[in-house]
Structures are given as C-alpha cells and as structure tokens.
C-alpha cells in the first residue's frame, strides 16, 4: 500500500545571495511550506561553500533543484522563480489553487 503523502527529499543548489538564487529559494520554500509541509526535507547548498556536494550531484549551473525522493530522481535547472514551472518540474500536477491571477497587482 502506497502512503497517501510520499516523503520528499529536495536539495536546492544556489550561489550566495545572487538575485536568481534568492528568487529560487523563495519559490521552493513557499512550495514546500504550502504544499509539501510535513512531508519534505529541503537542503539548501551554496556551491561556493560546498563544492564537494555540487560535484557529487554534477551541478553545472545554479540555481538547480535536485529531487531525490520520491523516485525517479531529477534535476530542475535555471529559472526557478516561476512556481508553476517548479511544480511541473517536480511532477506535482496542477496547482490546488491559482498561483496568480491575470491582471492582479
């Protein structure tokens, strides 16, 4: 029997406080807090501080989000500021509620 909520293991590779890394961190944390709360382990790795971990996962660009669990493992590279793109990259399916409304401020 498959558990109703799989356990997630994610690693977000960033580069210091660059704007793209900050946006990626905000998006991934919001997604983890809103939709995977209590079912996710998120590790954030600055490649400047931990090049060994970046080499282990063969990270060639940042930001990169690595999904270890649930299987299959995958990597999402590049613009991680778009929550819909991150959802699709993680195979989370459609958003439970609209993430943005056209014309919203």
Q: What is the pLDDT of residues 43-78, one digit of tens each?
A: 999 999 999 999 999 999 999 999 999 999 999 998
Decide if 98 is inside a domain.
no
Has residue 79 been placed in a domain?
Answer: yes
Domain that holds residue 67: 8-89
For residues 82, 17, 44, 35, the Cα torsion angle rounded to the nearest 10 degrees is -30
In a domain, 28, yes or no: yes
Is residue 96 included in any domain, yes or no? no
pLDDT given at position 9? 96
Burial class (CB in 10 A: 0-12, 13-18, 19+), 95: middle
Residue 95 lies in a domain: no
The model's confidence at residue 14, banded by pLDDT at 50, 70 and 90, is very high
> Which residues 6+ apart lie within 8 Å of 38 measured at CB?
5
The pLDDT score that the predictor gives to residue 103 is 47
The total number of structural domains that make up the chain: 1
- What is the reported pTM? 0.83
Q: Is the peptide bond before 66 cis (omega within 30 degrees of 0)?
A: no
Q: Give a yes or no: residue 1 inside a domain.
A: no
Distance CA 14, CA 24 (A): 8
Q: Residue 3 falls within a domain, yes or no? A: no
CATH of the domain at 47: 3.40.30.10
Average pLDDT over residues 7-30: 93
Task: Please check whether residue 17 lies inside any domain of the structure.
Answer: yes
């Amino acid at each position: 029997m498959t558990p109703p909520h799989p356990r997630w293991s994610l690693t977000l590779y960033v580069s210091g406080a660059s704007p793209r890394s900050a946006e990626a961190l905000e998006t991934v944390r919001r997604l983890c807090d809103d939709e995977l709360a209590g079912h996710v382990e998120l590790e954030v790795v600055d490649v400047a501080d931990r090049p060994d971990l970046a080499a282990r996962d063969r990270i060639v660009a940042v930001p990169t989000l690595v999904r270890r669990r649930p299987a299959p493992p995958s990597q999402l590279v590049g613009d991680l500021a778009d929550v819909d793109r991150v959802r699709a990259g993680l195979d989370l399916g459609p958003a439970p509620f609209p993430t943005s409304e056209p014309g919203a401020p």
